[in-house]
Structures are given as structure tokens and as C-alpha cells.
Structure 1
């Protein structure tokens, strides 16, 4: 399938995904049928290397699909984005790690939890890994997991931060996900008890930041020379743009039918409501347009074999974190004027509001950190951060 054929196939699933949104919330995980349909549509192969049956799509195509899924169901959009980006990251790992996962199971899925909360002990040939990692979205639908971990020197100080790749047999899932937003993502805890991870199933964040990874030896497409920070942060913000768009669509539909209890007039005729719709839609469009522009520019530089401009990398993080802020502003503006009926369980406006705010608290959406980096860079100060 071409990337456009995959996108059209995903669009054909949107009505059913929207219908299952309440089911996902109640079950606290995405229905198996939705994951199966997305897989059959080719969605999870969009960013997978061609040598393992993937599409190697333009990342904007991937993010477009995510945005449209998230507009129908925020939790499904979040899971689609996170599980869908991991084939791209695996493509950066040593070839043996890719073979371990895709050699016999090209459809294998990977969840993640990058905060380095576990214990990593270097041993001959690799590492012993133990601990608990939280917020592994979609882990119930995954066969492997990426876990973040710090490697320390003899004095106990960190000397490297890596991603460790573990199969499902090496960890258990603790069902702890009971939350008010993105409640259908099943973002449960991963628990590892003294598992061995061979060296080839690890990848340093310093390499992903340098855009020079072992997997580039075989996966030579420009897609795999993009910075992890740009790809992953956009992976987190894009579903929030979709959630805001879904809330806006629901608000417009709701407003067309709404009669003001206080004034007895049609709310659609209220100029204040019209202004809110215009302003919210502009914030959402701006969020998407800037992220799309930045990812496309990064890809063009990579396709030309050029070094990625540092200012562009900083700008990508700036616009990503502000995209989330713009969408939070939009959903707040809509929700606060949607009226009491928007509070009802199952109402898409309140669900979009809750889901967007839940996505906002992800660590990559920390505005002060990202914006400080951009300001420092333009003022000529050195900026050293793995998330650029």
C-alpha cells in the first residue's frame, strides 16, 4: 500500500472509532477491534522501514492520520500516535535489534516509557534491568517495550541515557490507569524484575540527538535522519491538535441546535459564539500549520543530505510546545461557553476538553523548558539538551 492508500483506509475507520470512544473510556483501553483494524489498514507500518514491509511514509502523512483519528477519539489518537511512531525509532537501533522484533513478526508493536526510573546494571554483553516504569500507553496491545534508563559511572554520576528494548516475556503490566482524561489509553505500569538486555537492544539518546544511529546503515531514507526530539514531541502534540479539532466540530454541531435558556435565542446567532468559533479554529489551524511546516523543512534538509539547522530544530520544539498551548486555549474557550448539556457523559466537547488537558501534562509539553532553549539559542548562548 502507498501512504495515501493507508491514509484513505484509516479515514474509512473514523466513524467506527468515533462510535467506540465511550467504550474505550469505560474499558480504560482501546478496543482490540480498533487496533486490529488500524493494523489491517497499514497504519502501524507507515513509519516502518521498507526492508521489513513498511511504507517509510512522509511523517506529515502519519501525523495527518493521527490528527484525524484523535478528532474522533482522543484516546485512540494518542495510542495510534505513540504505538505508530515506535517502528521509526526501532529503525534507528542496531540491525540485530530490528531483526529480533521484525524478523519473524513484522506486525509486532512496541509501547514505551522513557523516564529513567529503573535500575540499570552493566554486565558482560549488555545490562541487567529492574524497576517500574509508568505511563506506557497502549502496552496491552504491544509485544515489546522501550524503557528509558541511566547508565552511571563508578562515582554514581550518570554517563549516558539509553532506550532499552525488552520483549513481552521480560516484563509484566500492572493495571493502574484510573484517570479523568485520556482514560482509554491504558497507560499502565511496566514492571521488570532483573531482565537481561543485550547491548544491541539499547540506543543512546546522544546518538538520536546527533541523528547518527546504527540503524542508519541499513535504513538510509531521510525519514531516519530526523531528530528524535522533533519526531517524538510532534507525536505527542499532534493528537492534542486532533482532540481540539474534534471538540470544535462537536461545538459547532452543538451550537447549531442550542437555544439559550437565559435569553431564549438561538446561540448560533450570538456574535460572541461566532467569535469563539473563529478564534478557536484559528488557534488549532496555526498549531497544525507550524508543526507541519517544521517537520517538512527538516525532512527536506535530510533528503538533500544537509546538516539540520540548529535554529530549525529549536523552532520545531518551540512550535510543538506552543501548538499544545494553542489547542488548550481553544478547547477552554469552547468548553466554557458550551452550556450545561456539554457536561453530560459521552458529550464529545467535554471529552475533548478532558483529553486535551490530560495530554498537556506530558513532560514533552513543558513550555518553559522548550521556550527557554529557543530563547537561549537565538541570544547566542549554548544549548545542550537531548530533546532538541
Structure 2
């Protein structure tokens, strides 16, 4: 039976409690290269897995703004936990592009089913009677260790071309190789998912283009009809906002013990960093509002990715400056600031957060004449 929906308000309240738990386990997650069960269970219980699941299957059909607030709150406790929560929510959204029979199977045990996404087309699929045979290895699959299902991207021969499709695999059909030894975001356990000649029924596949354009099946909720470009930067950028806020808190706590003659420079540095974080938050909040709006024009479609990438650049700059200003103490093993510094640098390297490609598309739109161009 479908689980009872969790509201966006419930998600926010539960995430505030979860952030405290995640904070206590953050150093251990960094050392172990995985999240504690107390944290992974909390992510599911808070409602992240169900946040974008269709309502007919017990999901919340939540908003981008609600997810931004919850993920950034969780990141104040642990960036890796927040990233995992965000990508699980995003993968749940992807399930809405399956045929309804596939959706019913994916969420047969309830909307809290943990789905992860392997987004790059690093596999191959061959059509067979009744479905497909899928083989591939997908590195950097965040949260795969506590997943119930995975949506993997594979190339399908079609009309002389190779077209990216997503295929839903239950946990029994894939293995996980321990390959994640990153500088930062270590707790995400973004290991390699491996599938070897797995049979996938036809109702458990959909084209990547359906997801990119927001061609959902059976749901007209905006979280399912919104084009991917309105959401992807938010999903990956939201953890950076909370991480920067955590860095501000840690740095301010340390600064309170500074020498009196340094107080003016400390106050100035803290004010500048806080204003920069607030500015980045405004950009991300605007992007979330656009994603939640009933429709978006060409300007918004190109501005959202640029806004998110630019915001994350500024957040990385803030954390960079705070670490430098902390002296040697902030760089000591076990100090939260150096862990946050590693985390934000790692997450900012994600392809969805690269500013130049996003800015190029946005700039091209700004140069277009007429209404909706962003220029007179």
C-alpha cells in the first residue's frame, strides 16, 4: 500500500532534528566514507525519498523551494548527508517518467523507497523480447549503498543513433564496488554501480529526453512537468548553501576568542561573508520559485542554471576566505571548517554547477531581441 504523504512542513521540521543528528556523525562519515545508519534512516524518515513521488503512490509531490530549504538546513549539520538527501529526492522525481505500470512496481512497497540515479550514459541496452538487456558500470552513484532501486542511463540503438534511456533496476540486480576515495563529500559513498546483462521489462524504461523536457506520465504536478534545467542546479547547489552557513557559524565561534585588536577586522570579514551567503541564497530561492511556477520562458530556462552555478561559486569563495582567515587552527584534522572546505570544493565540480556553459546559454538569450530576452 502507498505510504501516507509527508507534507513540506513535516519535511522542514524533521530535517531540523535530523541536522543535529547528522552533525554528530559528520566527522565519522568523513572518516568511514559513508553515512551512519542513524543518518540514512533519518533521511528516509524525514521525507526526502518521497518528496517528488507522485501523490497517487503516496508521495508528497513537493516543491523545489521546500527541498531547497530542507537540504540547506541538513547541510548545516553534514554536507554529505544533505547531498545524499537531495539526490535521492531528485531520483524519486525521475521515477515519474516511467510508464504507470513501472511506477507501480517501483513504489510497490511505499513512497519511502530509496531510488538513486546513475545519470551519465555509461551503459548499453539491447532490445529483447519483452524488454531490454542492460550492462554497464556507473561511477559516482551517490547513496547507492542504501538504495532500494536505481535508475541507470544506458545507450539504446535507435534509427542509426544511440539514444540515452533510463532503466529502473531493483537492488538485487546490481552490485556496488567500493571506489569512492574523494577529497571531499566522502560521506556520500558515491561508489560504482555495476549491472551485468540484466533483464529489464519494457515498463521499467523511459527516454532521457522525457525527463529533460518534463514529459511525465500520469502526473501534472509541476515537480514532474518542469524541464530538468530548472531543477538540476538546485538539487546539487542546495547543499553548498547550508555548508557555507555552517562554515560561518564555526568561524564566528572561533573568532569570538580572537585578540581585541583584531575585532574590527573579524567583524568586517564576518559581515562580508554573511552578506555573500545571503546573496547566494536569494539567487537559489529565485531559481526555486521559477522551478515551482506553472511555466517558464526561454529567459528563465537559461537563467536558472546560471543563477545556481554562480551562487555556488560565491559560496565556495566564502568558505575559501573563511578557511584562509582561520589560520592554522581551521586546517587541523577534525576541525569542521576544513571538512566543509573540502566538501564545497568537491560538490562545486559537478557538471550541473559549471558556470561557463550555463552563462554562455544565458548570455546568448540575453542578446536576443524582443520580449523575454531580458534586455530592452
TM over 0.5: yes
Distance in 2 between residues matched to 1:203 and 1:373, nearest whole Å:
27
Aligned alpha-carbon RMSD (Å): 1.8
Residue 68 (structure 2) aligns with:
63
Query: Are the aligned partners of 2:92 and 2:116 in contact in 1 as well (CA < 8 Å)?
Result: no
Residue 326 (structure 1) aligns with:
314
Residue 10 (structure 1) aligns with:
15
The one-character-per-residue Cα deviations of 1:53-92 (angstroms, maximum 9, x if unpaired) are 2222222112111001111111111111111222222123
Residue 30 of structure 1 aligns to a residue whose secondary structure is coil
Residue 372 (structure 2) aligns with:
none
Residue 138 (structure 1) aligns with:
143
Distance in 1 between residues matched to 2:65 and 2:159, nearest whole Å:
44
Residue 220 of structure 2 aligns to a residue whose secondary structure is coil
Query: Are the aligned partners of 1:132 and 1:189 in contact in 2 as well (CA < 8 Å)?
Result: yes
Residue 104 of structure 1 aligns to a residue whose secondary structure is coil
Matches within 5 A, 1:71-220: 71-153=76-158, 155=160, 157-158=161-162, 160-213=163-216, 215=217, 217=218, 219-220=219-220
Gaps of 5+ in 1: 260-264, 382-388
Given candidates 20, 40, 50, the residue that maps to 2:55 is 50
Residue 224 (structure 2) aligns with:
224
Given candidates 264, 275, 282, the residue that maps to 2:275 is 282
Check if 1:369 corresponds to 2:357: yes
Check if 1:311 corresponds to 2:299: yes
In structure 2, the CA distance between the partners of 1:68 and 1:134, relative to structure 1 (3 Å rule), is: same
Given candidates 349, 355, 364, the residue that maps to 2:337 is 349
Pick which of 68-77 and 286-295 moved more: 286-295
Residue 5 of structure 1 aligns to a residue whose secondary structure is helix
Shift of 1:111: 1.3
Residue 234 (structure 1) aligns with:
234
The one-character-per-residue Cα deviations of 1:16-51 (angstroms, maximum 9, x if unpaired) are 211110111121111111121232233332222222
Gaps of 5+ in 2: 1-5, 370-376
Query: Are the aligned partners of 2:57 and 2:110 in contact in 1 as well (CA < 8 Å)?
Result: no
Residue 270 (structure 1) aligns with:
264
Given candidates 271, 292, 296, the residue that maps to 2:289 is 296
Query: Are the aligned partners of 1:47 and 1:59 in contact in 2 as well (CA < 8 Å)?
Result: no
Distance in 2 between residues matched to 1:231 and 1:93, nearest whole Å:
19
Distance in 2 between residues matched to 1:212 and 1:318, nearest whole Å:
23
Distance in 1 between residues matched to 2:129 and 2:261, nearest whole Å:
72
Shift of 1:229: 2.3
Distance in 2 between residues matched to 1:12 and 1:56, nearest whole Å:
22
Provide TM-score, normalisation by structure 2: 0.91
Residue 116 of structure 1 aligns to a residue whose secondary structure is strand
Pick which of 85-94 and 95-104 moved more: 85-94
Residue 149 of structure 1 aligns to a residue whose secondary structure is strand
